[in-house]
Structure 1
Amino acid sequence: MISNRTFAERTPQVWMEEIRTVTPPAGCAAIWFFGQESMVFKGQQTVIHVDPFYSNYLEHHYGAKRAFPSLLQPEDVTIADYVLITHEHEDHLDRWTLTAIATQCPQARFVAPACCRPILEADCQIGPERIIDALTGDWMELAGKDEQEQIRIKPVPAAHETLQTTGSEREHRYVGYLIEMNGVKLYHAGDTLVYPGLPEMLLEERIDIGMLPINGRDYYRNSRGLIGNMNYREAAELAAQAQMDTVIPLHYDLFAGNSEKPGYFVQELYERTPGQKCHVMARGERYVYVSPGAFMK
Structure 2
Amino acid sequence: MNAILTTNVSASSLAEALKHPPPERGVSLFWLGQAGFLLRTARHCIVIDPYLSDSLAEKYRGRPLPHQRMMTAPIQAGALSGVTHVLVTHHHSDHLDGATLTPLLAASPEACLVLPRAATALAMERIPMVDRSRLIGVNAGETHQLTSDLTLHVVRACHETLEQDEAGNFRFLGYVIDVGGIRIFHSGDTIPFESQVTELIPLNIDAALLPVNGRSESLRAQGVPGNMTAEEAVRLCVECNIRYMIAHHYGLFEFNTVNPAMLDAMALRHTNPVLKRARLHTRYQLEPPTSAEKSE
> In 1, are the aligned partners of 2:89 and 2:172 still within 8 Å (CA)?
yes
Which one of the candidate residues 195, 205, 230 is aligned to 2:203?
A: 205
TM-fit CA distance, 1:289? 1.3
Identity within the alignment, %: 26
TM-fit CA distance, 1:268? 4.5
Aligned-residue CA RMSD in angstroms? Answer: 2.2
Which one of the candidate residues 69, 72, 77 is aligned to 2:72?
A: 69
- With CA pairs under 8 Å and 6+ residues apart, which has the higher RCO, 1 or 2? 2
Distance 1:198 1:265, change over 3 A: farther
1:146 is matched with which residue? none
Spell out the pairing of 1:165-184 with structure 2 (5 A cutoff). Answer: 165-169=164-168, 171-184=169-182
TM-fit CA distance, 1:101? 1.7
1:109 is matched with which residue? 112
1:259 is matched with which residue? 257
Distance 1:16 1:231, change over 3 A: same
CA distance in 2, matches of 1:38, 1:232: 17
Distance 1:72 1:292, change over 3 A: same
CA distance in 1, matches of 2:290, 2:113: 30
CA distance in 2, matches of 1:41, 1:197: 28
> In 2, are the aligned partners of 1:82 and 1:111 still within 8 Å (CA)?
yes
CA distance in 2, matches of 1:96, 1:295: 47
CA distance in 2, matches of 1:254, 1:239: 24
1:286 is matched with which residue? 283
Q: In the alignment, does 2:24 pair up with 1:24? A: yes
> In 2, are the aligned partners of 1:249 and 1:262 still within 8 Å (CA)?
no
CA distance in 1, matches of 2:99, 2:112: 16
Residue aligned with 2:278, SS:
coil
The AA in structure 2 aligned to 1:261 is N
CA distance in 2, matches of 1:279, 1:197: 26
**Superposition TM-score, scaled by structure 2 size:** 0.88
CA distance in 2, matches of 1:242, 1:157: 15
> In 2, are the aligned partners of 1:160 and 1:228 still within 8 Å (CA)?
yes
2:228 is matched with which residue? 230
Aligned residues: 281
Spell out the pairing of 1:14-93 with structure 2 (5 A cutoff). Answer: 14-18=16-20, 21-25=21-25, 28-58=26-56, 59-60=58-59, 62-93=65-96
Spell out the pairing of 1:159-170 with structure 2 (5 A cutoff). Answer: 159-169=158-168
The AA in structure 1 aligned to 2:66 is G
Structure in which a larger fraction of residues adopt strand: 2
TM-fit CA distance, 1:293? 5.1
After superposition, give the CA deviation of every residue in 1:115-152 in whole Å (9 maximum; x if it has no partner). 32123223312111110012111210012xxxxx5100
Distance 1:136 1:225, change over 3 A: same
